[in-house]
Amino acid sequence: MSVVSTSVAEATLEQAIEMGLRPEEFEMIKEIMGRTPNFTEMCIYSVMWSEHCSYKNSIKWLKTLPKKGPHMLVEAGEENAGVVDIGDGLGCAFKIESHNHPSAIEPYQGAATGVGGINRDIFTMGARPIAQLNSLRFGKLNNEKTKWLLEGVVKGIGDYGNAFGIPVVGGEVFFDESYQTNPLVNAMSAGILSTDKIISATAKGPGNSVYIVGSATGKDGIQGASFASKDITADSADDLPSVQVGDPFQEKLLLEASLELAETDAVVGMQDMGAAGITCSSTEMSAAGKVGMKIDLDKVPKRQEDMKPFEILLSESQERMLVVVHKGKEKIVEDIFEKWDLHAVEIGEVVEGDMVSFSMKGEVVAEVSAHSLVLGGGAPVYDRESKEPAYYAENLKFNLDDIEVPDMDRIKRIASALLGLPNIASKRWVWEQYDTMVGTANMCTNKPSDAGIVNIKGTNKAIALTVDCNARYVNNDPEIGTQIAVAEAARNISCTGAVPSAITNCLNFGNPYNPEVYWQFEGAIKGMSKACLAFGTPVTGGNVSFYNQTAKEDGSASPVFPTPTIGMLGVMKDKSLHTSLDFKYKGDLIFMLGDSQNCLGSSEYLSTLLEVKNSPAPYFNLEEEVKIQACVRGLIENNFINAAHDVSDGGLYTALVEMGMPSLLGFDIVSDSEIRMDAFLFGEAQGRILVSLVEEDEDNFLDYIGEQGISCTLLGHVTKGKIHVDGDHFGFINEAKHTFDTSLEKRMAAI
């Protein structure tokens, strides 16, 4: 054990509380250390025991999620990202993470560095990123701050991702007043690696060298992990130094250098420097390998003079990695990074024991136990109080009969209005700012699909990727709503012809000390577990983002909608099976797999147009969902259908319009007399998939459906461009497309 310098003053309880620690945690730290920590050591504990790093308020429930699966190579919690075996000696590393709090304060850099961080998690493992997705949530679009946040976030994602050169293949944008001051920015990345070349984030071998590589360290992002573990308030703008600053061009260099390094035998372990910077990477790698480290902070390349020890340790400057190198192979590392014009500086070594010490100017300024700091080690674990909120009982009282059935003229107006709502309308204004076509991997450019399809070069395979979560469903019923989020992700994957394989999640909730928020969290985890087991899609990892609150004018705060975003990976064994969502030919038959329901619960129509906020989640049957999805995959494999599209937000009418727009083909359908017209067209009952097929395949189609025991309905047929329901003319598909395509950009342009 080193002698810690007395030049750094002892920390006080007041400082600990200011850093986000609780009084009892301060006492725990003193007991662990056998003394009072100094200020620098307290900074270390404050970031490592923050919710963002330790998951102290969530890990109890996260451990209940299913993590095992036949194709899992790296399970949740083992490395920077999960890895799934996709065959041919290849694995897919994928993960989703949040950058909510930084984006609320500085939307451009907050979103940009979120993209950079998630890609580093992927290539740190030796995987080359090939696809990006994002899930975004904002307040009402009639609010000028919402527009400012949306513009900044989208530009940040676009500028960073476009420069980095990885296509965006999918995503979602959702608007609700609960996100008014606290947007959600969830970024997902997927990469491909050789299964025999996975790089671990583990330090081993006392005497091995520890390198920092990439960019220099500055004062940006200090205390970022702690900042992400507290509520957003009116004063949060004062925390601007907690927002990182990204450089995509540096990241591109770092990517190439890291992948070149991965091909050598010099690397013991490597970890991205994200939350908590050097502190997190050094202690987590040490704890994983059951070793310690000695780090000389004077050797860390810096962008600013006179940086204090805690500033160096807590900086979240971007585009940096910590690499443990086999002794004697240092020159390999240095030569590679010199070639790419990046820093590669030896700052320490691996040592026996559990202690990580940091020195500066010849003195040890901090010494801590790695095990005591990390998730799964000595970090505290809590089980918070939960309480069912009063609104849940109100939701269950909803009576459909209290809603007047509109006449056909009003139905037509509703149909048009729905297509123009921000949550339904095209997000063209958003995705046109992203490079979706860089490279040759994106297979959806000319074949719009329910999920992004990415070509795996050198094989006959492709992967399918999607992000999904209807937060309104989750808010109205956390357990069922989260099951639906998993099921919809799987449904999107299945409609392309791919098989759902595994998920990553980004769990966005309010303050965990609020019992009603914690009740939502518990319910979401239970629902996710149940659905993932049913679909055989283990959880590979992700992140938890608590403290997402919208500040009110009176100084109070209300939680955002509980938003457990699901990122799902599917595997397409034969890319020739890739099925798009668009109608192909006039005269094709339109069938619906699954049944219509007299259900309006939590629909966009009910919640937004009728302003009925209290209703249950929509109809959902998990067992039926699994069977229908297996059936549609079989139909695709047998070439019985030429299009498949799930019925989700906006209901049946919206889904049909989405199928018609790519080729400007309309539809002529007949409603179900046993179902109310508004529920038939606009209800969001789950477990339904629309398919189209040529008339010659109808017999084969129906025979197969019958064998599978799936209910289906012939809705009608594809037209040249007219839209008819029960013989009533609803306009033309080109008119619907115009409304759908231009609504969001018109709202953004409105003053």
The catalytic site residues sit at: 52, 99
Cβ count within 10 A of residue 207: 11
CB proximity list for 222: less than 8 A, separation 6 or greater: 241, 242, 310, 311, 314, 315, 316
User: Is the CB of residue 324 less than 8 Å from the CB of residue 204?
Assistant: yes
| Helices of type H across 397-514 | 408-419, 428-431, 471-476, 478-494
Q: Please, are residues 356 and 293 in contact by the beta-carbon 8 Å criterion?
A: yes
Indicate the DSSP class of residue 605. I
Q: How many beta carbons lie within 10 A of that of residue 734, not counting itself?
A: 12
Query: What residue type is assigned to position 419 of the chain?
Result: L
Q: What are the structure tokens assigned to 551, written together?
A: 């500040």
SS3 content of the chain, % helix, strand, coil (to 5): 40, 25, 40
**Residues 721 and 727 sit within 8 Å (Cβ to Cβ):** no
- As a residue count, the chain comes to 751
Q: What is the C-alpha to C-alpha distance for residues 656 and 102, in angstroms, rounded to an integer?
A: 38
**Beta pairing partners, 735:** none
Residue among 275, 284, 282 at smallest CA distance from 297 = 282
- What are the helix (H) ranges across 124-276? 144-164, 224-227, 248-262
Half-sphere exposure in the Cβ direction for 728 (13 Å, CA): 14
Q: What is the Cα–Cα distance from 548 to 414, expressed in whole angstroms?
A: 33
Closest C-alpha among 465, 214, 229 to residue 323: 214
Q: Which residue carries 């019958």 as its tokens?
A: 706
558: nearest Cα among 102, 98, 138, 232? 232
Question: Of 412, 403, 392, whose CA–CA distance to 603 is shortest?
Answer: 403
Lookup: tokens for 177: 């007043």
| Max Cα-Cα span within the chain | 86
- Of the candidates 516, 541, 517, the one whose C-alpha atom is nearest the C-alpha of residue 190 is 541
Question: 597: exposed, middle or buried (C-beta count within 10 Å: 0-12, 13-18, 19+)?
Answer: buried
b/e string for 674-712 if b means 16 or more Cβ within 10 A?
Answer: ebbbbbbbbbbbbbbbbbbbeeebeeebeebbeebebeb
Q: What is the 3-state secondary structure (H, E, C) of 565-597?
A: EEEEEEEECCHHHCCCCCCCCCCCEEEEECCCC
Token pair listed for 485? 């989020």
DSSP for 40-66, written as a single string: HHHHHHHHHTSHHHH-TTTHHHHTTS-
